[in-house]
Amino acid sequence: MDLTLLYGTDKPPHRGEVLRAGDAAVTLEAGRLRHLRVGGVEAIRGLSFLVRDRDWGTVAPAITELAMAGGRVSYAARYDMGGGSLVARIALSLTPDSLTAEVVATAHGTVETNRAGFTVLHPIQGVAGAPVRVGHSDGSTEETRFPALIAPWQPFTDIASLTHQAGGLRIACRFEGDVFEMEDQRQWGDASFKTYNRPLALPWPYAIRDGETLRQAVRISWTPAPAADAAPPIRAEVAGARFPQTALVLTAADARRAAARPEALRRIGPQRLLCHLDIAAGHGLSELRGFAALQAALPDLAYDLELIAACPPDGDLAAEFAGYAADLAASGFRPASIMTCPSVDRQSTPPGSDWPPCPPLESVHAAARAAFPGTTLGGGMASFFPELNRKRPPADAWDFVTHGLCPIVHAADDLSVVETLEAVPHILASARAIIGGRDYRLGPSTLAMRQNPYGSRTIPNPGRDRVCMADDDPRQDGAFAAAWTLGLAASIAPAGVTVWTPAALYGPRGLVRADGALRPVAAVVQALAAQAGQPLRGAALADGRAELAFDGVTLTARLTPDGPEPFGWQSRPPSPKS
C-alpha cells in the first residue's frame, strides 16, 4: 500500500488495539479509547485525556511506560507547551460491565492551557433527541433529552453524571475531580456530544502552576434495560432535490494566475467562483481588478464576491459600503452575488465571553442593500456553522445564507474526519431551521482550515501530519480527499443546498498543485460539477461507502482503507431498474 498516494504523506495512520471483557469491546488508539461497544451496541463514542493550548490546538502527547494486561492499561503522557510540561499518569480498566479511566497529572514548570482533562463523547446516531438523565453536583437529577437540532450553547452544565439508553442497555457515566459540562459537537461537524471539564464561563487560557496536580476519574457502567423507542433520525431532505452548483474559492492572486492559464478551470468545470475580498487584510480596488481580469478571460462563469467588511462599531456603514460600491464600479468586476460578513464575526464568541463590538446585522444588511441595489445579497458566516448558530442572521434579510465546514477542528485522524460526514445532515437540518426557505449555500468546506475562528492562528504543520486546525493537510494530495469529498457530496445532496464550495482553486486547500498538475480530488469535483442541476435519484452513506445516483451516472467512494481499493472512487452507469 502506497501511503503517499492514499494520504499525501508517508506517515501511517494510528492503528488501535481492541480491548475485550465479556461482551464489551473498546479500541485503544494513541492513548485514547474509542467506540465502546457492548454486544455490538455503541455505548460511548470516545474517552480520552486531552490538553488544549491557548489557540485551542490539541497538544499531542509523548506516551511512555505503556503497560497492558487483560482489560487494564496504564501509561504516562507528557504534554509540552511553551516553557512547561504537564505529565499525566493514566489508568484504564475494562470489565464486562464497566469502563474506568483515572488520571493524576502534575505540572513541571507553568503550563498555560485552555483545557486539560477527561473528555467523554456520546454518539449522535440514535442519541440526538433521545432521553437522558443528568445528575448535578448538588445531588439533584434532571430528566431531559439530548438536543435534536444542534444547540448553540451547552445543553447541560454542572454535570456529575449522565445516564442514557442505547439498544437494550442503560449506560451511566460518572465524572469526578472537576466541574463538567457538555457541548453539542455536531456544530463543528463532530459526530458526538462532548462532555468536558472546566466550564467555558471561567477564564481561559489559565495556568497550572509548577508542582500543581490535578486528579480526575470517569466511571462508565452499563446494565440491561427494556428496549426504548428509538429517537427519529435527523435528516435534511427536500422533495425533488437537485445537485447543487459547484463553486471554487480563490483570492485575487489566484484569479490573476488563472486568467493567465485558464486551462485547469476549464477542465474542472465549476459553475461559480467565490472571490475572497478581505478589507481587514488591505484588499480593495487592486484585488477587484484581479477578479475582473479573470471574469474577462472566462465570462461564462458566475462570480460571487465574499466581502469581509470592516464594519467598525462606531463607523458610518452607509459611507463604508458606498466606498465598496465605488471600487466595484471602477474595477469593472461584476459579481453575480455579494456575501457580506463583518470582519469580527470570523472569530468565535464562546460561552461566557463578551461579544466583540459590531454594528447590528440589520444595519449591515441595510447598508449593503442600499449600496448594491438589484444585486443578490448573502449573509451568514465566512467561518463555520457554530458562528452562524450563535449569531443568527436577521429574519428575511438576506437573499441567501451561507457558512463553511472544516472536519479537523477537534480531531484530525482519518476515522474522525470520515465520521464528520455523519454530522453533516444534522448541521444542514439545524441551519434550515434557522434560515427557513431562503437560499442555502454551503461555503468553503475543505479538509484543512483556511482561518481559525477559535484562536489567533491556524496550527502550523511543517511535518505534514494529521494536525487539528492546520491550514495545510497532506491528505488533500491523496485519494483520501477525493473519497471524503464525494462523501460530503452524498451528505448534502438531499438537502436542497443550491451551491457548494468543496475546494479552493490553488494553495493547500486547492485542486491545482503549485506545478499546475491536478490533485486526485480534482477529478471527483469535476465529475460532481457535471451533475449540477441534475435530479437526485439516491444518496447514501453506510458501511464505509458513499453513493450518489443520477439518471445518467452513479458515483461511489470507499471511505475506509480496507478492501482492494482503499479510498477509491468510481463513476459508472446507473444500475438497471428492476
Distances (CA, A) of 419 to 45, 171, 477, 484: 11, 22, 20, 10
Q: Grid coordinates representing 167?
A: 439498544
Contact 351, 156 (CB under 8 A): no
Distances (CA, A) of 128 to 99, 147, 149, 185, 253: 23, 6, 8, 11, 44
CA–CA separation, 542 and 528 (whole Å): 20
Contact 163, 154 (CB under 8 A): no
Contact 167, 225 (CB under 8 A): no
pLDDT of residue 505: 98
CA–CA separation, 444 and 406 (whole Å): 8
pTM over 0.85: yes
Decide: residue 457, CB within 10 A, 0-12 exposed, 13-18 middle, 19+ buried. exposed
User: Per residue of the chain (578 residues), what is the pLDDT tens digit?
Assistant: 799 999 999 999 988 999 999 999 999 998 899 999 999 999 999 999 999 998 888 898 999 999 999 899 999 999 998 889 999 999 999 999 999 999 999 999 999 999 999 999 999 999 999 999 999 999 999 999 999 999 999 999 999 999 999 989 999 999 999 999 999 999 999 999 999 999 988 998 999 999 999 999 999 999 999 887 878 889 899 999 999 999 999 999 999 999 999 999 999 999 999 999 999 999 999 999 999 999 999 999 999 999 999 999 999 999 999 999 999 999 999 999 999 999 999 999 888 788 899 999 999 999 999 999 999 999 999 999 999 999 999 978 899 999 999 999 999 999 999 999 999 999 999 999 999 999 999 999 999 999 999 988 999 999 999 999 999 999 999 999 999 999 999 999 999 999 999 999 999 999 999 999 999 999 999 999 999 999 999 999 999 999 999 999 999 999 999 888 999 999 999 776 53
β partners of residue 91: 74, 102
CA–CA separation, 168 and 156 (whole Å): 24
Ordered strands of the 538-542 beta sheet: 538-542, 545-549, 554-558, 569-572
